[in-house]
Amino acid sequence: MAGGPSREYNNRLIRWVEYRLPIFSAVEATIGRDMPTPKNLNYWWSLGSVLFLALIIQIATGIFLAMHYVPNGAMAFDSVEQIMRNVNYGWLLRYVHSNSASLFFAAVYIHILRGMYYGSYKAPRELLWIIGVVILVLMMATAFMGYVLPWGQMSFWAATVITNLFSAIPWVGESLTTWLWGGFAVDSPTLQRFFSLHYLLPFVILGVSLMHVWALHVHGSSNPVGISARSKQDTIPYHPYYTSKYMSVIGIALIILAFLVFYEPNFLAHADQFKPADPLQTPPNIVPEWYFLPFYAILRSIPDKLGGVIMFGGSIAILFLVPWLDTSRVRSARFRPTYRYFFWIFVLNVILLGWVGAQPPEGAALVIGRLATAYYFAHFLIVLPFVGWFERPRPLPESISKPVLKSGTPAAEAAE
């Protein structure tokens, strides 16, 4: 937590509370007037606020949905229709909840890509990055279990496919899967426990997010230039500069969310979800939500079941190693002309993997998927280390405040 003298407040009530529980100065130190922030942050730094908004929206809508939803195989689908038709504004709660999940993942992917472009994960922010990947994993678990709850065809078969992955683990796989299911197949016991965990995990995410912000505030935000702030001239207080800057982004995020919710609420949904779960009929093409498609593509690229599971887990686990895989001494891709190309190729590759994940795993899509999977890992295991070693970075400016370098001198600015 931020040290230093706490602020003097004029308001007596605030002083009374502050003396007993210094909540006001804590807020000021976190996002207020006492949080020195690099003055050159661009809009790619706004996603943290958007993510916090998305989490609050999901928790609020989720709690009120849970007042009406029934987590039992026989009643779940009907209870969702009940919410849509009979609960006052139930349709609104439901559509906001389902579409905010997409907002949440869109924001987190952009947030992660920002980190990869600007080298935000470099020392001393490695643990900040790792905590972030933990949040990503928690989000994926939460979203997966949440998708099962409406108990439509895709809910049931996504649960079946993903829980079946665990049976690939040698020795303990079968028992582990039976334990997860609470039975011999995905059925109501599975649904019931997924509901309990789906309610729990967002609060775990909330807690880990607070740790994420805590870790951030030890050394403060990085910035687009990648050079640490060195003097007061390099920073401005978070409030009112960044609060005002990022409110517009929140506004735009809400506009996009509102457009989906009110005009195309099922644009990102699958038609099969509106059929009740049928254990005796598999949908012709089982597809997860869009935000899982790249990982799904990686899973299905490997012909071996255990191999697919390992690569699927590996594709997320590799993110934990990024701070050490990237050998560049320069943080920001703004000064890394070679790496920049590879960054955008990586983005294109992930989008391509997403497309592959939506196709049936055969023919050209399968071949492309395998190549794209190989490239995904190559980016982390080959591009990051080698480009870091061999690249000739552009000269860095002297400081954040002086973006234009004095002529001639390539700065030997190491990532601190």
Q: Helices 188-219 and 153-165: crossing angle, nearest 10°?
A: 70
Among residues 193, 219, 245, 394, the one that binds another protein under rule CB under 8 A: 245
Stretch of residues binding another protein (CB under 8 A), selected from 123-131, 138-146, 352-360, 389-397:
352-360
Stretch of residues binding another protein (CB under 8 A), selected from 183-191, 230-238, 299-307, 373-381:
230-238
Q: In angstroms, what is the minimal distance from the CB of 262 to another protein?
A: 3
Could you give the 3-state DSSP secondary structure of residue 11? coil
User: 187 CB contacts (<8 Å, ≥6 apart)?
Assistant: 73, 181, 279
State the DSSP string of 338-349: HHHHHHHHHHHH
Among residues 9, 26, 27, 33, the one that binds another protein under rule CB under 8 A: 33
84 is a contact residue toward another protein (CB under 8 A): yes
Stretch of residues binding another protein (CB under 8 A), selected from 121-129, 143-151, 266-274, 313-321:
266-274
Of 43, 109, 38, the C-alpha closest to 246 is 43
Could you give the 3-state DSSP secondary structure of residue 358? helix
Read off the tokens for 361: 């795993």
Could you give the 3-state DSSP secondary structure of residue 128? helix
Among residues 305, 340, 370, 394, the one that binds another protein under rule CB under 8 A: 340
Q: In angstroms, what is the minimal distance from the CB of 412 to another protein?
A: 24
**x-or-dash string of contact with another protein, 122-161, rule CB under 8 A:** ----------------------------------------
Among residues 16, 179, 259, 389, the one that binds another protein under rule CB under 8 A: 259
**CA–CA distance, 88 with 288 (Å, rounded to integer):** 30
Cβ atoms < 10 Å from Cβ of 137: 16
233 is a contact residue toward another protein (CB under 8 A): yes
91 is a contact residue toward another protein (CB under 8 A): yes
41 is a contact residue toward another protein (CB under 8 A): no
24 is a contact residue toward another protein (CB under 8 A): no
Residues from 277 through 296 that contact another protein (CB under 8 A): 283-285, 287, 290, 293
Judge contact between 99 and 261, C-beta under 8 A.
Answer: yes
Judge contact between 328 and 268, C-beta under 8 A.
Answer: no
Among residues 56, 74, 172, 252, the one that binds another protein under rule CB under 8 A: 252
CB nearer another protein, residue 146 or residue 283: 283
Among residues 6, 26, 72, 81, the one that binds another protein under rule CB under 8 A: 81
CB nearer another protein, residue 18 or residue 234: 234
Helix (H) or strand (E) run with residue 38 in it: strand 36-38
CB nearer another protein, residue 18 or residue 34: 34
State the DSSP string of 161-226: HHHHHGGGSTTTHHHHHHHHHTSSSS-HHHHHHHHHHHHHHHHHHHHHHHHHHHHHHHH----TT-
